[in-house]
Structures are given as structure tokens and as C-alpha cells.
Amino acid sequence: MWAFAPHPPMRIGQIMGIRSFYLVGGLLKRLLAVAGVVFLTLQPSQANPARQDLGDLQQQVKIFLQDHYRQQDVERVDITVGNLDPRLVLAACTQPLTMTLNDPSNSGGNLTVQTRCEATQSWSIYVPAQVSLFRPLAVASRPLMRGDVISERDIQIDVVNVSQLRQGYLARRESIIGQELQRPMNTGEAFRGSILEAPLVIKRGDAVHIEMQAGTIAVNSTGIAMANGRIGQRIRVRNSQSERIVSAEVVSAGKVRTSI
């Protein structure tokens, strides 16, 4: 059989050392646990820096657009800034935002505003917006037919959303009265230069008065129109005296002008 020698009895100093080891070890564990809590508490704030308020960004874009379009000749400006994805995370900008608009015709409509932060944590985003511009325009006061020569009673002035119109709309009655309509128009429809034409004032075969200019000298004659003519157009005319055919500009009903 095996025989084991008995351990010698522990001294009081050894017992106190072992006890101190376990006391210090427990205290160290508690300190590490507290430090871990402090670390975990501080970590989220370091991982989530200040963010740009998206609502404030939209409001700044709206103010930028209002300031831009109110400098135009408009009666009213309506602006709706599009919503941004709420998941979008942008660092809070420590400098004023820089905004750029690409609308060379200043006609509004659906557009985007490039918005940039040029601080240390820089970023750039395109913010959508819808801009409606209202101007007083000349519109048809009643249904009109192709070939109608526009008179004063055919025109009224209304405030119209020009952002929904093609370019070339007209605002002054004087530029419309006496023009001939090239297609039908509905009541309230805006007049545009592309659908108007000077009226036909000379027809082929009409006798016309010819004004011939040579510097400061003017010579009058008569002739026969060889084509239909509108004011401002050039037509061929046969001079009744010389039988020569000349190119002349239509200046009014029955009258043309040419240079010698």
C-alpha cells in the first residue's frame, strides 16, 4: 500500500497571503467590470456623431428657391420640396450649405437643387423640388378657330402657371391683335408666338402699289402680285410699267416696298 506523508501545518502568514490574493483578485474583477460598463456607455456616443437635420435641410432649400425665383418677373411662386429618405444619414454641417440650381430658363417645374456641405466632413446631395411660377398672360377669352384674325375682344389677361407651358407665351395684347391663328384655341389657353402668323393681306393677282426706294429717293409705281403675301413677307410682283418682275416686301394691304 502506498503511504502519504502528512502536509506540514500552514503558518499564519501563509494563510493571510492566500486570503489577500483572493481579496485583491475579487477587487480587480469588480474594477474591470465597472470599467467595462463605462466603456460600453461611452461607446455609443462616439459611434453616433451629430447628424444633419433633414427637415432643416429641406427648409433651407425652400428658402433658397424662394429667394431665386422672386427675383424674376412673377406674380406668385409656389414651392414644394420633395421628401428625403429618412434612412439618409448626413454629418451635421458646421458651415453654411452651398446650393446650386440648374434652371437656365427660370421656368420652374420639376427640378433638383444640388446641396453641398464643404466642412471637414463634406457631403453632397440632390434635393428634388417642384416650382410653380405664376405670371399674367394673354389668354383666349372664347374658343377660336384656325384662320381667325385676333381682335381685342378675343383676348383677356389671366394669371397663369407658366411652369406648365412651353416657351414663347405672350403677355402683351399689342403683339397679338391683328395676327392670324394657325390652329384652334380653347378658352383660357395662353397665346404663343408659334401659333400666330401675320394675316394674309395680298392675294395672287391683286393690283398692288409699289414703293421703290433708291437711297433717300422714293419712286411709286403699280403692279400685279404673283403670290399671296403676309406682312413682312417678300413676294414677286410684276411692274405694270416696265413689265419687270421684282421681289418686294409686303408692308400693308395692297402695298409692297422694294429697293432699286
Digit-coded pLDDT (tens) for 199-226: 889 999 999 999 998 888 888 999 999 9
Give yes or no: residues 69 and 116 share one domain: yes
| Domain boundary pick from 133, 148, 167 | 133
Q: What is the DSSP letter of 115?
A: E
Average of per-residue pLDDT across 172-194: 94
pLDDT-above-70 percentage for the chain: 81
Pinpoint the alpha helices (H) of the chain.
12-47, 54-69
Instruction: With H, G, I as helix, E, B as strand and everything else as coil, classify residue 11.
Output: coil
Whether 30 is covered by a domain: the verdict is: no
Residue (of 222, 202, 213, 216) closest to 259 by Cα position: 213
Instruction: With H, G, I as helix, E, B as strand and everything else as coil, classify residue 145.
Output: coil
pLDDT of residue 41: 36
Give yes or no: residues 207 and 250 share one domain: yes
Whether 147 is covered by a domain: the verdict is: yes
pLDDT of residue 176: 95
Give yes or no: residues 250 and 205 share one domain: yes
- Bridging pattern class, strands 200-202 and 207-214: unpaired
Give yes or no: residues 151 and 129 share one domain: no
pLDDT of residue 39: 37
Q: Which domain holds residue 109?
A: 54-133
Give yes or no: residues 88 and 114 share one domain: yes
d(CA 91, CA 7): 70
d(CA 238, CA 225): 7
Contact present, 201 and 226 (Cβ < 8 Å): no
pLDDT of residue 217: 84
Backbone φ and ψ for 52, nearest 5 degrees, come out as -70, 130
Contact present, 159 and 145 (Cβ < 8 Å): no
Cβ burial 237-246 (10 Å sphere, 16+ → b, else e): bebeeeeeeb
pLDDT-above-90 percentage for the chain: 67
- Bridging pattern class, strands 76-81 and 123-140: antiparallel
Confidence band for 154, pLDDT divided at 50, 70 and 90: very high
Whether 49 is covered by a domain: the verdict is: no
Whether 58 is covered by a domain: the verdict is: yes
Give yes or no: residues 219 and 244 share one domain: yes
Residue (of 205, 223, 211) closest to 252 by Cα position: 211
Whether 231 is covered by a domain: the verdict is: yes
Whether 88 is covered by a domain: the verdict is: yes
**Averaged pLDDT of the chain:** 84
Q: What is the pLDDT of residues 93-118, one digit of tens each?
A: 999 999 999 898 888 999 999 999 99
Q: How many domains does the chain have?
A: 3
CATH for 254: 2.30.30.760
Give yes or no: residues 100 and 61 share one domain: yes
pLDDT of residue 199: 87
